């Protein structure tokens, strides 16, 4: 009930180290204020006679310890020495003024200590408080009913606190069980995802890679037959057929390499991204393009397979576009490891409008669109365009 009221009144923010709603602290403060207001005006007059002086001293000591407990509990949830001292001083005060709200201090100590301390510790504090109450009551000549009823009430509150302690223990155990269940479910989900990725990798390997390998073997066989010397030389159709076979073989080899990279990415044991970029730069130059100025900045680190694949595809597409739209122009490839991010930058000078670009018409024209979609799915951004006479492709992706 207190927690629901606290949530409604926006008083549920507890102090550091506390496990009670803020409204309970207001209740404890209110108890102290009521005791400080009512005890001095009750009979006998505080400070008058031996009994009045004793009550004044007990009230002062109890108030100081109570305030110290309210302050210290913000760093130490259950300060046992202060609770014991507050219970004893409160018991003496309640024993001398049994018909005032001072007994609420004793009830507060029992209700706070029992759910949080070991039963033997909280029982010791309760017994000490009962003894202090009897000492205070006997010193003022309290009735037998008072001397018997109040200590029994303290023990009853302690017994009730044990049930709350058991409830809190079960609640904490249930919370721990829930956390462990969630972790187990996450682990199962991750294991299932890894198993599915491994299955897809096997399918790609068995279907696509084997098929491409078979096509490559047949192309090599066809090229061998066409160049074996049994066919008439100088035939333009034959020459064109050999060129087509050569291109098909190159495409097949590139497809095989891409399939291997996709399988490695799915199996989450891909070659380091830096090595992939260095190899891509070398392949670009070996395939007839201009030399690529590759540079890596930052400290290399492992990245998720999806991030590595997105970065590699971006660089691959950008280099392909450079070959198509700016043949012969120098290309700069940058891979940067930043704090929480991986950045890929590919840039090349814009060619003159009169430059010969025979490969411009090849392709479907959706390469950059696909890269942007891939970057968005991975939580990154892709920026492309002309800047200061340079065409730049820039990818920034979290990793």
- Render pLDDT for 52-87 as a digit per residue (tens, 0 to 9): 888 888 888 888 988 888 888 767 666 788 888 888
Q: Tell me, what's the pLDDT at 4?
A: 43
* Strand 390-398 relative to strand 341-349, pairing: antiparallel
Judge contact between 121 and 109, C-beta under 8 A.
Answer: no
pLDDT > 70 fraction of the chain, expressed in percent and rounded: 75
The answer as to whether 208 is a domain residue is no
* Residue 365 in this model has a pLDDT that exceeds 90: no
| Distance from C-alpha of 213 to C-alpha of 172, rounded to nearest angstrom | 59
What residues does 356 pair with on adjacent strands?
Answer: none
Residue with tokens 């058991």: 166
Tally of structural domains, the chain: 2
Instruction: Indicate the residue among 123, 142, 161 that finishes a domain.
Output: 142
Instruction: Give the range with max mean pLDDT: 30-44, 233-247, 266-280, 384-398.
Output: 384-398
| Distance from C-alpha of 106 to C-alpha of 92, rounded to nearest angstrom | 10
The answer as to whether 58 is a domain residue is yes
Give SS3 for 117: coil
Instruction: Indicate the residue among 142, 169, 192 that finishes a domain.
Output: 142
- Report the pLDDT averaged over residues 253-265: 68
Provide CB contacts within 8 A for 318, sequence distance 6+. 346, 393
Please write the tens of the pLDDT for every residue from 282-297.
888 776 667 789 999 9
Higher-pLDDT residue of 223 and 391 is 391
| Distance from C-alpha of 335 to C-alpha of 297, rounded to nearest angstrom | 6
| Distance from C-alpha of 265 to C-alpha of 244, rounded to nearest angstrom | 31
The answer as to whether 65 is a domain residue is yes
> Which domain, by its residues, includes 101?
2-142
Rg (CA), the chain: 41
Instruction: Indicate the residue among 113, 142, 171 that finishes a domain.
Output: 142
| Distance from C-alpha of 150 to C-alpha of 137, rounded to nearest angstrom | 10
Nearest C-alpha neighbor of 195 from the set 259, 263, 264, 267: 267
Phi/psi region, residue 343 (left: phi>0; alpha: psi -120 to 50; beta: rest), is beta
- CATH number for 389: 3.30.565.10
Q: Tell me, what's the pLDDT at 361?
A: 46
Residue 44: is the preceding peptide bond cis (ω within 30°)? yes
Q: Which residues of 109-124 are buried (b: 16+ CB within 10 A; e: fewer)?
A: bbbbbbbbbeeebbbe
| Distance from C-alpha of 384 to C-alpha of 350, rounded to nearest angstrom | 13
The answer as to whether 328 is a domain residue is yes
The answer as to whether 296 is a domain residue is yes
The answer as to whether 176 is a domain residue is no
Judge contact between 12 and 21, C-beta under 8 A.
Answer: yes
Q: Tell me, what's the pLDDT at 14?
A: 40
The answer as to whether 101 is a domain residue is yes
Please write the tens of the pLDDT for every residue from 163-209.
877 887 888 888 888 888 888 888 788 777 767 766 776 666 656 65
The answer as to whether 171 is a domain residue is no
* Residue 333 in this model has a pLDDT that exceeds 90: yes
Tokens found for residue 390: 């340079």
């Amino acid at each position: 009930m207190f927690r629901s009221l606290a949530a409604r009144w926006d008083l549920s923010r507890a102090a550091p180290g506390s496990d009670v709603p803020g409204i309970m602290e207001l209740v404890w403060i209110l108890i102290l204020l009521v005791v400080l207001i009512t005890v001095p005006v009750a009979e006998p007059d505080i400070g008058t006679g031996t009994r009045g002086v004793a009550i004044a001293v007990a009230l002062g000591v109890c108030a100081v310890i109570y305030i110290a407990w309210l302050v210290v509990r913000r760093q130490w949830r259950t300060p046992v020495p202060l609770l014991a001292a507050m219970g004893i001083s409160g018991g003496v005060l309640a024993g001398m003024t049994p018909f005032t709200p001072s007994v609420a201090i004793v009830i507060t100590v029992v209700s706070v200590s029992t759910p949080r301390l070991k039963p033997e510790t909280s029982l010791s504090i309760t017994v000490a408080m009962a003894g202090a109450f009897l000492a205070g009551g006997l010193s003022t000549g309290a009735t037998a009913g008072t001397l018997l009823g109040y200590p029994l009430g303290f023990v009853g509150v302690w017994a009730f606190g044990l049930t709350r302690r058991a409830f809190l223990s079960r609640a904490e155990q249930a919370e721990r069980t829930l956390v462990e269940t969630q972790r187990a479910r996450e682990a199962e989900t991750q294991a299932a995802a890894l198993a599915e990725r491994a299955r897809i990798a096997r399918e790609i390997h068995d279907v696509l890679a084997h098929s491409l390998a078979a096509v490559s073997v047949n192309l090599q066989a066809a090229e061998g037959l066409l160049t074996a010397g049994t066919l008439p030389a100088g035939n333009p159709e034959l020459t064109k057929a050999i060129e087509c076979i050569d291109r098909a073989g190159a495409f097949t080899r590139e497809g095989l390499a891409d399939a291997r990279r996709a399988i490695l990415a799915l199996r989450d044991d891909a070659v380091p991204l830096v090595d992939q970029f260095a190899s891509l730069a070398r392949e670009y130059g070996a395939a007839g393009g201009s030399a690529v100025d590759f540079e890596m900045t930052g400290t290399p680190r492992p990245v998720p397979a999806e991030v590595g694949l997105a970065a590699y595809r971006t660089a691959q597409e950008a280099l392909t576009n450079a070959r198509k739209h700016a043949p012969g122009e120098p290309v700069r490839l940058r891979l940067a490891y930043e704090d929480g991010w991986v950045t890929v930058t590919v840039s090349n000078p814009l060619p003159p409008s009169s430059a010969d670009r025979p490969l411009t018409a090849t392709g479907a024209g959706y390469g950059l669109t696909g890269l942007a979609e891939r970057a968005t799915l991975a939580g990154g951004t892709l920026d492309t365009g002309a800047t200061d006479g340079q065409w730049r492709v820039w990818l920034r992706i979290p990793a």
